[in-house]
Structure formats: structure tokens, C-alpha cells
């Protein structure tokens, strides 16, 4: 049972900043921020969940079955993440690559405190056991008093290393192209890791900087004890809204230009680029196939195909695929049928994932997984964990990964340039 109270806030930007700073006292945090992007399918502008009453943490073995049970028993909001390596629960696959981060494969919690922001309205939804803290919490966050930020030792001059060097990247992409030319796969997402060892960062401040230069529509700050995700994700993985399922895969990237005229040329170029469109359409077909597994017959529809959206750092080509499901369909089953998301795997999906595991030099873990929540009614919304910094405070290990879709027309040098473009914001934030 949750007790809710609604407040009006005049300076919502300042309130959001103080809210996330206030949240740092808790060991379980999920912060989701739309950064003012108008999205047809979003329920709020920002959402915070903190302070676990109950949790589930597991490896990939029977992970979705355990989540199904946890979600069914909670009958409440649960927030958390799904790592990419849950692929091993969905298919007969394994993950043997290097893992510097050591995150659990799946973690969800039932929060005692949830705070939703829509426009200038802030709604506190607290479990009854802590509902007497609503007013004091609001008063503290909205007051003129500056909240004290915990002092964190940070590493100066962070040294970022590459898990694979440029020549190795080209070699592995060429191997992937040979699989494509042989007909093993049509497309696969090939990723590389950048990392720093024996490094300490301030997660809150690092997220603030990343969010300021990216202002992504599916940004998130996640803390699970000593593990952190600082994400500037532009991509929605999957949303359930009543009987409707929505997926919005991204495939196709172009840089931004400072001059309006030049920027518009880059948009037009991306819209017309046959390689980028082919990448996007292949993934749309894959998503249609994934959604059709649990959807009502004939209900899978492409609402938007290859539409270009502009963000602070890049232009992106996004498609929107929707479907209808029967009222009694289990929400966790819907996710399981389409996980991991097509935009981060390839086609055919299982073959692509096997080749990815063989050619990549790191375990993806939470990178290219998903962060989000389930509602008490069984609706849900999850992003795709890309354009993100991952941090294990105990191991003092910082990591960010980037990748791109490799198709028959891929040129390794251009793919490498695209990776560096996607990595730009994370590198800037860590190295400044």
C-alpha cells in the first residue's frame, strides 16, 4: 500500500538536481530522466526510486523465472536492470570473455520511496511504513538550504585504456564481414570496451556532467551498493502500456555540426544513406519477429520507419514498432521473448550473438542490457544501456563501451570512426 502526496515546484531544474543529490544517501537508486524530450509514450518527465524493501539479485541461471516470481509476489513497483548476458538464460549460450566490472546479471528492488516529476508537479509515493517522511523529505529537497555532498576521493588525470587496439578492431570486423559474406548472418553489433583501472570517480558529479552534455531522453543513474551506471541513453528498448507494446530501436548515426546549414545537410545525408537505412530496416524486421512471438496475430505494426531525431551529440535514425498482447500475458515473458534487444545483437539473432561472443574481447554485462521498472499493474518501460559509464567503486574500475552494426557494406575504418564519435561524451566527462 502506497500513500501519495502531490506538490507544485516552481524551479523544477533545481529541484531535480537536489533530488538526485538527496538520493545519494541510499544504497539502491534508480533515477530515470527524459531531459525534456517530448515522447508520445512517456508517462513522466523524471522518476526516482530509492531504498529497497525487498530485492532480487541473480546470475543468468533461470533469471527470468526468478524475476517473474519476484514481480508477481511484489504486486508493486519494482526497479532494476537486466544485463546483456541474460542471453544465456534465453538461449543455449555462454559468456566467457573478460569481466572487469563484476555486476550481477540481474537486480531488482521494491522501493520504499518513489518520486515522480511531470511538468512542475512532483508526486511522492511512499510505502505506508515511511509515509510520515513525505513532508520532511519534500521540505528538505525544496528548501533553500544546500544539501551536503559526501566527499569522494577521485583520481586525477584518468588513464583510459583500450581493450583492443585499432588493428585488432579492423581484424575482428573483417572476420565478422567474412561471416556475413558466407551467409552465416546478415548483421551483427560489434562492440569494444574502454576502461580505467585503479581509478576512483564521483558517480553523482560524473553523471551530472554526462547528462549536461548529452541531455538524452532515456538517461539514468543507477546505484546498487558499490556498482554504478551513469547513462546518457537515447534509446528505448521496450515499453508496455496496457495491452500495447512499444519498441524503438536505433540504427544509424551521424555527427552534429555547429552551423545550422551544415547540420541540416548531415540530417538529409543520414535520411538518404542506403547503408544506414538497411541497418535500421534489418533490425525493424528482427524486432517485428521478436514481438510477434507473444503478440496478438496481425497486431505488429511499424508506426515510424527510419525517422531521424537530433540529440546534443549526434543525429540518430529511430524506428517505432508496436504490437498488442492479450490481457493475461505475463509482463516478464514479453521481455524474455525479445531479449536482448535486436539493435544490440543482429540477425539472425542467435547466430549473431554466438559470433559476437567469439569476436569481442570483453563481457558486456550491463552494457547493452536495460534499466527500467514494472508498475503494480504489470506495465513496464526499459531503456537500452548505451552511451554509458559503468563503475565498480570497490574494484576501482571504470568502463564505457561502444559499438556499431556491421553489415555487408560496412567499411572497418568508418565503423571505427563511428565508435569514437559515440564514445566522445564519455571520454570528455572522464578526462576533463
Please report the pLDDT score of residue 228 as a whole number: 98
Q: What predicted TM-score, i.e. pTM, was given to this entire model?
A: 0.96
Helices 134-142, 12-23: inter-axial angle, 10-degree rounding: 120
**Which DSSP symbol is given to 98?**
B
Please report the pLDDT score of residue 275 as a whole number: 87
Q: Which domains does the chain have, with CATH numbers?
A: 2-140+159-431 (3.60.120.10)
CA atoms in the 13 A half-sphere facing the CB of 368: 28
Please report the pLDDT score of residue 38 as a whole number: 74
| Bridge partners, 31 (sequence order) | 48, 221
In this structure, are residues 173 and 190 in contact, taking their beta carbons and an 8 Å threshold? yes
Please report the pLDDT score of residue 222 as a whole number: 98
Residue by residue, pLDDT tens for the chain (432 residues) are 899 999 999 999 999 999 999 999 999 999 999 998 877 788 899 999 999 999 999 999 999 999 999 999 999 999 999 999 999 999 999 999 999 999 999 999 999 999 999 999 999 999 999 999 999 999 999 998 788 888 888 999 999 999 999 999 999 999 999 999 999 999 999 999 999 999 999 999 999 999 999 999 999 999 999 999 999 999 999 999 999 999 999 998 899 999 999 999 999 999 999 989 988 998 999 999 999 999 999 999 999 999 999 998 889 999 999 999 999 999 999 999 999 999 999 999 999 999 999 999 999 999 999 999 999 999 999 999 999 999 999 999 999 999 999 999 899 999 999 999 999 999 999 997
In this structure, are residues 341 and 386 in contact, taking their beta carbons and an 8 Å threshold? no
User: What is the full DSSP assignment across 139-175?
Assistant: HHHHSSSPPPPPP----SS---EESS-HHHHHHHHHH
- Nearest to 363, CA basis, from 326, 390, 341: 390
Please report the pLDDT score of residue 301 as a whole number: 97
Please report the pLDDT score of residue 150 as a whole number: 80
Three cell numbers written together for 428: 570528455
| Bridge partners, 125 (sequence order) | 4, 114
Distance CA 303, CA 43 (A): 19
| Interacting residues of 189 by C-beta distance below 8 A, sequence separation 6+ | 343, 344, 345, 346, 352, 356, 368, 403, 404, 405, 406
Three cell numbers written together for 391: 563503475
Distance CA 3, CA 122 (A): 14
In Å, how far are 162, 226, 393, 425 from 396, measured between CA atoms? Answer: 17, 10, 5, 21
| Bridge partners, 24 (sequence order) | none
| Bridge partners, 80 (sequence order) | 108, 372
Known catalytic residues are 235, 251
Helices 166-182, 349-359: inter-axial angle, 10-degree rounding: 150
Q: Cell numbers 545519494 label which residue?
A: 24
Please report the pLDDT score of residue 37 as a whole number: 87
Please report the pLDDT score of residue 145 as a whole number: 78
Amino acid at each position: 500500500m502506497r500513500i501519495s502526496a502531490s506538490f507544485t515546484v516552481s524551479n523544477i531544474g533545481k529541484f531535480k538536481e537536489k533530488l538526485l543529490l538527496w538520493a545519494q544517501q541510499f544504497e539502491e537508486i534508480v533515477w530515470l530522466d527524459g531531459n525534456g524530450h517530448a515522447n508520445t509514450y512517456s508517462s513522466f518527465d523524471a522518476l526516482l526510486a530509492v531504498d529497497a524493501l525487498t530485492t532480487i539479485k541473480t546470475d543468468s541461471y533461470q533469471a527470468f523465472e526468478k524475476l517473474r516470481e519476484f514481480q508477481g509476489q511484489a504486486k508493486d513497483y519494482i526497479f532494476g536492470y537486466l544485463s546483456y548476458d541474460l542471453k544465456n538464460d534465453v538461449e543455449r549460450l555462454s559468456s566467457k570473455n573478460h569481466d572487469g566490472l563484476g555486476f550481477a546479471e540481474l537486480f531488482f528492488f521494491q522501493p520504499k520511496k518513489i518520486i515522480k516529476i511531470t511538468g512542475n508537479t512532483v508526486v511522492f509515493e511512499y510505502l505506508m511504513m515511511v509515509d510520515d517522511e513525505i513532508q520532511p523529505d519534500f521540505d528538505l529537497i525544496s528548501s533553500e538550504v544546500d544539501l551536503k555532498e559526501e566527499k569522494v576521493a577521485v583520481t586525477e588525470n584518468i588513464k583510459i585504456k583500450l581493450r583492443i587496439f585499432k588493428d585488432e578492431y579492423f581484424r575482428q570486423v573483417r572476420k565478422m564481414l567474412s561471416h556475413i559474406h558466407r551467409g552465416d548472418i546478415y548483421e551483427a553489433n560489434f562492440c569494444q570496451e574502454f576502461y580505467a583501472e585503479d581509478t576512483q570517480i564521483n558517480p553523482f558529479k560524473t553523471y551530472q556532467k554526462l547528462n549536461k552534455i548529452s541531455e538524452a531522453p532515456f538517461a539514468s543513474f543507477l546505484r546498487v551498493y558499490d556498482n554504478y551506471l551513469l547513462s546518457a541513453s537515447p534509446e528505448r528498448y521496450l515499453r508496455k502500456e496496457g495491452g500495447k507494446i512499444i519498441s524503438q530501436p536505433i540504427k544509424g548515426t551521424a555527427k552534429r555540426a555547429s552551423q545550422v546549414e551544415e547540420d541540416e545537410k548531415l540530417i538529409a545525408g543520414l535520411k538518404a544513406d542506403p547503408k544506414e537505412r538497411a541497418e535500421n530496416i534489418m533490425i525493424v524486421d528482427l524486432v517485428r519477429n521478436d514481438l510477434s512471438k507473444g503478440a496478438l496475430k496481425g497486431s505488429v505494426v511499424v508506426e515510424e520507419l527510419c525517422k531521424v531525431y537530433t540529440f546534443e551529440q549526434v543525429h540518430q535514425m529511430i524506428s517505432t514498432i508496436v504490437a498488442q498482447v492479450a490481457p493475461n500475458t505475463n509482463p516478464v515473458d514479453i521481455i524474455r521473448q525479445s531479449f536482448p534487444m535486436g539493435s544490440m545483437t543482429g540477425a539472425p539473432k542467435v547466430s549473431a550473438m554466438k559470433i559476437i561472443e567469439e569476436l569481442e574481447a570483453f563481457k558486456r554485462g550491463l552494457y547493452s542490457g536495460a534499466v527500467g521498472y514494472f508498475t503494480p499493474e504489470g506495465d513496464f518501460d526499459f531503456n537500452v544501456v548505451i552511451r554509458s559509464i559503468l563503475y565498480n567503486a570497490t574494484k576501482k574500475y571504470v568502463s564505457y563501451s561502444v559499438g556499431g552494426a556491421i553489415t555487408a557494406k560496412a567499411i572497418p575504418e568508418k565503423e571505427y570512426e563511428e565508435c569514437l564519435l559515440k564514445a566522445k561524451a564519455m571520454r570528455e566527462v572522464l578526462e576533463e
